[in-house]
Structure 1
């Protein structure tokens, strides 16, 4: 039987290696191994009881049918109030678009803004799916090497230098996956000015902004209504599997995004939307803040611990729950080859990490990503296991 040919874009989208490593780790667990998972970016915390109770109440009351494509109005209003209460930003709820996770939000943004063969600038390293969203829209992601000197983020000077005749805009994340670093507000303002001068778009993924540790987070929305931001209930709100996110878009874009959402997704999960309303209750927000401080405690332990093990941490992460660690000087035969090193650490120490190859092509063999979104005691045990493997314990 001759199978029909697949679309050419499929070949341009690489596997998500973190998920492949997860499969390998689960196979070891099924064989009886104890594995400490520090690979997938998923909080070990789950939705608080009030959120679960709100979901049950929605189910029992029959709120399980389609909602409006833009999301239920009470949730859009609650998100707008959240910006007002946390950042003193007045956002019209009509600009808020509730989506089936941040992934759907990014897909909508790329579908709306990227034409065939348009180039979109982004830092290298960055979240791998970002470049694949651009590819899926028939655009071309342009990865710009951004190292420790740039905090692993794009700068205004880099955007100016790399803007070409086919460049359409920039796709940023602050704080970033895999580095946990943010773009400093003044630099972001300069960057946005460069994009505006060229008539381009700026999309900023802010899904980790609630998990900021060094300073009060500042949304890119403070820079004007022409910015598109992406956010999510997955990270700060601990609702990864509920698949719920949102966009804030310019007022003129709302009808376009609504049309696309109607056709591509119909709507986000009704149950998840009604449950998420409970996220904004004062008692629930207090739980999230306690958990944020726990993530910071873990970061404050793991960064010096990694340095003691021989890893380089050239930029201390100020948000999210990741460390992007330089492995070139670690006391192991696989140092300088993060793919081989993470496999050795998984099989010989029982700790799951992610090699840099997932996040770009700028020195990926030199870096690995560690997620500290797991219990403090497990992080301590992981450090002990790696220290024993390296002979430093």
Structure 2
């Protein structure tokens, strides 16, 4: 007698959840039931579209929507990005640029191109959780590098991890807003070069910096994969468009994977991205709003007992130490959401070792909305701690 086989999910699919999306789902359910919720959990930029882009949208003949594009992206967009970097005195070649389905597509293509199953790739914690989760899904071992101070990353810790195949670094960092200076980044580049470590630099928050300058890893040499996106500085998260600059020797393999996994990116999004690169000065004004938001958040939090947090050199997050009050950041986030109506992100999303005593707060919303949300949050903190 034949027994029916149960088709179970693959082991590679048993990765950790992206917890901020769980928070969003729970917050949305509460909103649906009629409760007012302030979303300070998501890293979603202000809803802003420059006039040039709205005009381009209005000009589209949607009966003649462009079809497939080359798998590495429209030539015009890649050449526009080449010019974008040249204005920063960084020389890149359009042939080494790939347009991707968001930065997520760039990470997947990069990991598959650069590493084999069983390779060891290091990440500095706290950091963006999708690095670890995507790497795990393709059977790459993740090495988490922790610093003595749970809120900040100490790049010198890499000296203890020479036997790795790859390293991912992000500056400005998510979740703590930390920006590494020129000397620190040059040290990382040269360390990886000396020890034959494939370096991947996540630069999606470039352009969103306040009192400290950002540097691209391409300023130190070409032996690095640089990933960026139109989602953050360019305020286009829903268009799902990113880009990656790869060393020349990886281009052919990158192209093969891109052709088979994604075929091409959305053509309308690419057309709009071409115009967005002409609107940099307008986007800089949005960064000024984030600076105003940051000052508000740090001032209001500083007057509560939750007064140990990062100053946010860049990105639009502050990372908060709540170790005096909990050892379960998920539980505290749920409590704040239900009692206060403010959604935050548990630190365990970013750091498996120390994240149960930290939270991330996003100040990427418009200023009035953020002000009202912070009033509710700080009132609740003062009443409970």
Q: TM-score, normalised by structure 2?
A: 0.94
Query: Does structure 2 retain, via aligned residues, the 8 Å contact 1:125–1:362?
Result: no
- Unmatched 5+ stretches in structure 1: none
1:279 to 276, 280, 291: 276
Alpha-carbon contact 2:20-2:41 (below 8 Å) kept: yes
Q: Deviations over 1:13-60 (max 9, x none)?
A: 111111111111011111111100000110122332322332443454
Alpha-carbon distance between aligned partners in 2 of 1:61 and 1:248, rounded to the nearest angstrom? 33
1:376 is the counterpart of 2:379: no
Q: Give CA-to-partner distance per residue, 1:47-84, whole Å, 9 cap, x none.
A: 32322332443454724200001111110011111112
Match of 1:160 in 2: 159
Label 1:148 to 1:214 Cα distance change in 2 as closer, same or farther (>3 A): farther
Picking from 18, 21, 25, the partner of 2:20 is 18
Matching residue within 5, 21, 28 for 2:30: 28
> Is the deviation greater in 129-138 or in 304-313?
304-313
| Structure 2 counterpart of 1:130 | 131
Match of 2:312 in 1: 317
Secondary structure in 2 aligned to 1:309? Answer: coil
Judge which range, 96-105 or 360-369, deviates more: 360-369
Matched residue, 1:223: 220
In structure 2, C-alpha distance between the alignment counterparts of 1:160 and 1:390, rounded to whole Å = 40
In 1, distance between residues paired with 2:368 and 2:91?
41
Aligned mates of 2:55, 2:154 — CA distance in 1: 42
Separation in 1, partners of 2:42, 2:30: 16
In structure 2, C-alpha distance between the alignment counterparts of 1:247 and 1:106, rounded to whole Å? 9
Asked if the contact 2:37–2:342 (Cα under 8 Å) also holds between the matched residues in 1, the reply is yes
Separation of aligned partners in 1, 2:135 and 2:339: 37
Question: Does the aligned pair in 2 maintain the 1:322–1:370 contact within 8 Å?
Answer: yes
Q: TM-score, normalised by structure 1?
A: 0.92
Q: CA deviation at 1:341?
A: 1.9
Corresponding residue pairs, total? 381
Equivalent-residue separation in structure 2 for 1:10 and 1:295 (angstroms):
36
Query: What pairs up with 1:37-76 in 2 under 5 angstroms?
Result: 37-60=39-62, 62-76=64-78
Is residue 3 of structure 1 aligned with residue 43 of structure 2? no
**Could you say what the CA RMSD is over the residues aligned between the two structures, in angstroms?**
1.8
Please tell me whether residue 344 in structure 1 is matched to residue 335 in structure 2: yes
